[in-house]
A = this chain, B = another copy of it.
Amino acid sequence: MTLQNDRLLRAFARQPVDRTPVWLMRQAGRYLPEYRATRAVAGSFMGLATNPELACEVTLQPLRRFDLDAAILFSDILTIPDAMGLGLSFETGEGPRFARPVRNAADIARLAVPDMETELRYVMDAVRLIRRELGGKVPLIGFSGSPFTLACYMVEGGGSDNFARVKALALDDPAALHRLLDVVTESVIAYLAAQRAAGAQALMVFDTWGGMLSPHLGKGNAPYLEELAASGAEGLGVDWTVSLADARSRTGGKVAIQGNLDPSTLYASPDAIRREVRRTLDSYGHGPGHVFNLGHGLSPDMDPEHVRVLVDAVHEFSARSQP
């Protein structure tokens, strides 16, 4: 099946494109009334994520509304620990929760890499179904949380203001944390490989919590662009606290740059949104290697019509400025 719109893949390969490709983190989500309707049918977030037909439906919803250049698998970054037996749930307004967090070396020793085609089959089934339903219209992005981010959630049992438990573990029993990171890393590699085999055409690793580490304990993002550009990834997502011009010059053309409009821009007027889109495109400048995105995901209280203004402005302004 031929891919009709390959802007995203070309941009990640740093090849010329006719318009800057654009997709948005959480483009399938609660800001869309049709998402909320499907979510109500599913009964719970995990009910939605583990049902390939419904996950496919919500993945495709934003593409029916907006001229987006990619679909992204509807799922959650915490499916791997859930498949490891930690018992994932989402309480309303509370974020993710694990019924059985891992707290010590004994808990960690019991963990094993999940089988991708049985314990995580629902993800691979969703990838296969979405690929079929997309019919080559745009590429499908698969994803995983980073090993460190998954380890944080697994040790804390959910989100955290200060990551007290995982930081105490890092200082008091670094060998145990390394074993945890090893089994999670193996799982992430297997998970992304399985998504690729099932049909995902691009893969993204979300390192939500890497930025809270000290330099001697690990890596964030904006302070570490040079190191991350050498990681082997084709592209690097950055948020709005760094300018695209800086990110581009600091990574020296070795990777594509994805980002980085502040999502709160969507609370401003359409005129301001268009102005900020243009500023973001100008900040990257001419030449290949830019994938337009937000610096963080869309929020439930955002106006879908403002999202349309953003997507259309990316194409309008970048088409003008192509050579």
Residue interface mask A237-257, B partner, CB < 8 A = 1: 000111100100000000000
When chains A and B are docked, how far (Å) is the Cα of A213 from the Cα of B262?
Answer: 9
Flag whether A118 is at the interface (Cβ < 8 A): no
| CB-nearest residue of chain B to A273 | B171
A279 within 8 Å of B (CB atoms): yes
CB pair B168–A267 under 8 Å, yes or no, is yes
Within 8 A of B (CB), among A122-161: 161
Nearest B residue (CB) for A246: B215
Chain B residues, Cβ within 8 Å of A216: 243, 279
Bound-state Cα–Cα, A33 to B280, Å: 50
Is residue A269 within 8 Å, beta carbon to beta carbon, of the partner chain? Answer: yes
Which residues of chain B have C-beta atoms less than 8 A from A242's C-beta?
215, 223
A29: interface (CB < 8 Å): no
Tell me the smallest distance from the CB of A188 to a CB of chain B, in Å.
24
**Min CB gap A29→B, angstroms:** 14
Contact of A299 with B by CB under 8 A:
yes
B164 touches A241 (CB 8 A): no
A47 CB within 8 Å of chain B:
no
A278–B68 alpha-carbon span in the complex (Å)? 51
- A145 to B242 Cα, complex, angstroms: 24
Q: Taking the complex as formed, is A313 at the interface, i.e. its CB lies under 8 A from any CB of chain B? A: no
Q: Which B residues touch A265, using CB under 8 A?
A: 167, 171
A164 B215 Cβ-Cβ under 8 A: no
Interface presence of A220 (CB below 8 A): yes
Q: Are B172 and A268 in contact (CB under 8 A)?
A: yes
A167 near B268: Cβ-Cβ < 8 Å? yes
Question: Is the beta-carbon distance between B263 and A171 smaller than 8 angstroms?
Answer: no
A212, CB-defined interface residue at 8 Å: yes
Residues in A161-188 with C-beta less than 8 Å from chain B = 161-165, 167-168, 171-172
- Knowing A214-B240, A241-B211, A241-B212, say if A264 contacts B223 (CB, 8 Å): no
Is the pair A241, B214 in contact by a Cβ cutoff of 8 Å? Answer: yes
> Is A276 positioned at the interface, with any CB of B under 8 Å from its CB?
yes
Please, which residues of chain B bring their CB within 8 A of the CB of A111? none
Question: Is A189 interfacial (CB-CB < 8 Å)?
Answer: no
Q: Does A222 contact B (CB under 8 A)?
A: yes
Whether A264 touches B215, Cβ cut-off 8 Å, given contacts A241-B220, A242-B223, is no
| Interface hits, A269-289 → B, CB 8 Å | 269, 272, 275-276, 279
Judging by beta carbons under 8 Å apart, are B241 and A167 in contact? no
A275 to chain B, nearest CB (A): 8
Please state if A162 and B263 are interface contacts (CB–CB under 8 Å): yes
Residue pairs across A and B with Cβ atoms less than 8 A apart, 25 shown, are A161-B299, A162-B263, A163-B264, A164-B267, A164-B301, A167-B262, A167-B268, A168-B267, A168-B268, A171-B275, A172-B268, A172-B272, A211-B241, A214-B240, A214-B241, A214-B243, A214-B262, A215-B242, A215-B243, A215-B246, A216-B243, A222-B222, A222-B223, A223-B241, A223-B242
Can you name 9 extra interface pairs (CB under 8 A) apart from A164-B267, A214-B240? Answer: A161-B299, A162-B264, A167-B262, A168-B272, A171-B268, A213-B241, A215-B242, A216-B243, A220-B241
